[in-house]
Structure 1
Amino acid sequence: MNGALPENAGAETATSFARLVDIGHGRMMYLECHGSGSPTVVLVPGLVAAADTWSYVTGPDGGRKPSSSAVYPAVGRFTRVCSYDRPGTVRENGKFTTSSTVAQPTTARGDVADLHALLKAAKVPGPYVLAGWSAGGPIVRIYAGEYPHEVSGLVLVDAESEFLQSRLTPRQFGTFLALIRNDDKKRIAQWKDVERQNPAIVFGQVRAARPVPKIPVVVLTGDEFDAEAFRARLPAHAPADFPQVFWRAQRASQRDLAGRFPSAQHITKTQSDHNIQNNRPQLVTDAVREVVEKARRRPSGTPSS
């Protein structure tokens, strides 16, 4: 992984490490950190993605490769940065995470508890700017509500939005859930304990969560969509126009998400599909830097809420 020590490194430097951390109850989670400065940026991957998604960029041929221009190493040049593997996630090279397996499916609230335990066990200093991609979005939002005095900013990278459910009819949302189940079946065939979640449960947990405190927020939204690739993931009974229906709902749900944070900056011209951190890493790095700088300008001792 670019920007981090090998996972089997025998010693840690003062600023960098990549290792398994004992979070209690017989469980270990993989964590990597480097750089120095405050606030600490915690990069939260999407579903099934591991820590190293933030260390890869999309090349001209469409493939991904580690790069010094990726988000993780780039953020580490101006502040402390960490990322981690949730249970059941998969590295960019197809290898299964070394984080302890747990019963699947998991929930966003369970992931928040794991992240909090991990940061405390590893003695990662706060306050934190949390950047969540895709399924990482609900995790960082719930975390900020649960631990408002630990979080000084959020960056939501094409984050899952509970408003997707309300922008679709119940029948349309059922088709979306069937797509998710199709994806799960394919992954389980390759990795038995792969991470999976039920979006309906996640969205319900976000709605029930404590509100995010008044902190800097940047929302980045993908603006490119491959309808044919999406169609290939759909169940046979899906309506022919469902890709277009979904895309309209997705764009609207991102506007709704940004609207939850009245002072948020919403970046919609990303020239990227869902994988903004790989396709446009500088855009994500700049958003993180902006939130970090705003957090640094807060008067010392100012509460988050």
Structure 2
Amino acid sequence: MRRWIKRVAITITILAIALVSIGVFYEQAARSRAAKDFPAPGRLVDIGGRQIHLNCEGQGTPVVVLEAGADTSGSPLWQPVQEQVARFTRVCSYDRAGIMWSDPAKGPRNSLAIAEDLHKALRAANEQAPYVLVGASMGGPYVMTFTKYYGKEVAGMVLVDASHPEQTARLAQASGVPASDPIPFVFRALAAMAWSGLPRLVLPDAEIPELPSQTAKAITAYQPTSLAAAFSEAAVFEDSLREAGTFRTLGNLPLAVLSRGKPWSAFSEAERTASGLTREQFNRSEAAWASMQDEEASWSSNSTHQVLTDSSHVMQLERPDAVIAAIKDVVGKVTRANALP
């Protein structure tokens, strides 16, 4: 009996080692294939021992800098906006450390670390201020933090349904639903096992109809390696929000705020179910969100605020025309101000 048990144990161990080896080989081959099939569309800029992907197009000043929200998709989500903005000024999107084509970084990935990386990348690429910063969702607190520390280089700002420093507590109070762990255990486990090939097997393909199929395939290919960095940011969201919350005065800096306003009735039944909210909870949450968006518009005496009733949160995909128009308006204000004697 003991001999039989020992043989079974050895067989299981050998099979496990073989499966892990196959998984590692599969993952490394997939990463090589991703690098070959989906090369970085921009430059890989060295910021001191690691590289940040910076994709700049167009000519002119001020330079528009696009900061993505909390996601594994990074700069590609800005493609519909960037292509059009490049027609009237220079515009740069980029990937934060560990996302898509950028190298990972050690240490907490809070808003201060992110602002420092972006500043180094722009300098290393010789992109010249002044900048108009565009922050979507969590990108809002990131560009506010950048402005806090490098304000002399910032000439204007666009906030695209941007996160608010107090959103966690205020949304929980409004909806009556306590804030949950931003990183469920299963996703933590997947991120930790990226080397094994398992995330690449179980994660669904990116389905983003607003983007070219090749761009969506690139997001899918890099998603497993972007997970850890995205979760590293999520782990310190509250720190990032607090840091951004210490700076809410932009003076007369040109500011455009775009806010979602899509009503409950415009969402599908599947989308309503996925939200986990009742209609009443949704309406209370959206009212709290609208109040916070109004506050963001008050951070500058030279601001505009538009509520898009036909868009939900990711409006750079749902309403890129509105985002482009807001950027163009702020760029125009900056250009006219700089032309004054």
TM-score (norm 1): 0.76
Correspondent of 1:195 among 207, 222, 230: 230
Aligned ranges 1:1-305 → 2 under 5 Å: 8=39, 18-24=42-48, 26-48=49-71, 49-55=73-79, 70-89=80-99, 97-103=100-106, 106-165=109-168, 167-168=170-171, 175-178=178-181, 180-182=182-184, 185=187, 188=191, 190=199, 191=224, 192-196=227-231, 197=234, 198-209=236-247, 211-224=249-262, 226=267, 229=271, 232=274, 242-299=281-338
Change (3 A) 1:168 1:272: closer
Q: Residues 7 and 239 (structure 1 numbering): CA distance in 2 closer, same or farther, change over 3 Å?
A: closer
Identify the structure with the greater helix proportion. Answer: 2
Would you say the 8 A contact 2:174–2:288 is kept in 1?
no
Q: What's the CA shift string for 1:196-216, capped at 9, x where partnerless?
A: 323322221112237434310
Q: For 2:289, give the aligned amino acid.
A: Q
For residues 127 and 166 of structure 2, what CA distance do their matches in structure 1 show?
A: 33
Q: Does the CA-based 8 Å contact 2:42-2:53 persist in structure 1? A: yes
Mean Cα deviation higher: 102-111 or 169-178:
169-178
Q: Distance in 2 between matches of 1:42 and 1:184?
A: 34
C-alpha displacement at 1:174, in angstroms? 7.7
User: 1:101 Cα shift?
Assistant: 1.2
Report the secondary structure of 1:129's partner residue. Answer: strand
**Structure 1 match to 2:34:** none
Kept in 1, the 8 Å contact 2:65–2:91? The answer is yes
Cα distance change, pair 262–176 in 1 and its aligned pair in 2 (3 A) = farther
SS at match of 1:209: coil
- Range with bigger deviation, 103-112 or 269-278: 103-112
- 2:309 and 2:185 mapped to 1: Cα distance? 26
Number of residue pairs aligned between Structure 1 and Structure 2 = 264
**Amino acid of the structure 1 residue aligned with 2:271:** A
Q: Distance in 2 between matches of 1:233 and 1:7?
A: 33
Identity %: 31
In structure 2, the gaps of 5 or more residues are 1-36, 194-198, 200-223
SS of 2:82's partner is: helix
Deviations 1:158-217 (A, max 9, x none): 111124245345696982343x23398277373352413233222211122374343100
Shift in CA distance, 242/184, structure 1 to aligned 2, threshold 3 Å = farther
- Superposed CA RMSD in Å reads 3.0
Structure 1: which amino acid aligns with 2:286? Answer: W
The separation in 2 between residues aligned to 1:8 and 1:164, in whole angstroms, is 37
Return closer, same or farther for 1:203/1:173 CA change in 2, 3 Å cut-off: farther
Question: Which residue identity does 1:254 align to in structure 2?
Answer: Q
Structure 1 residues 128 and 109, CA gap change in structure 2 (3 angstroms): same
Q: Which residue type is aligned with residue 45 of structure 2?
A: V
Structure 1 residue runs without a partner (length 5+): 1-5, 10-16, 56-69, 90-96
- Hey, what's the Cα distance between the residues in 2 that align with 1:21 and 1:210? 31
User: 1:195 aligns to what SS in structure 2?
Assistant: helix
Assess if the C-alpha contact under 8 Å between 2:252 and 2:301 holds in 1. no
Amino acid at match of 1:50: G
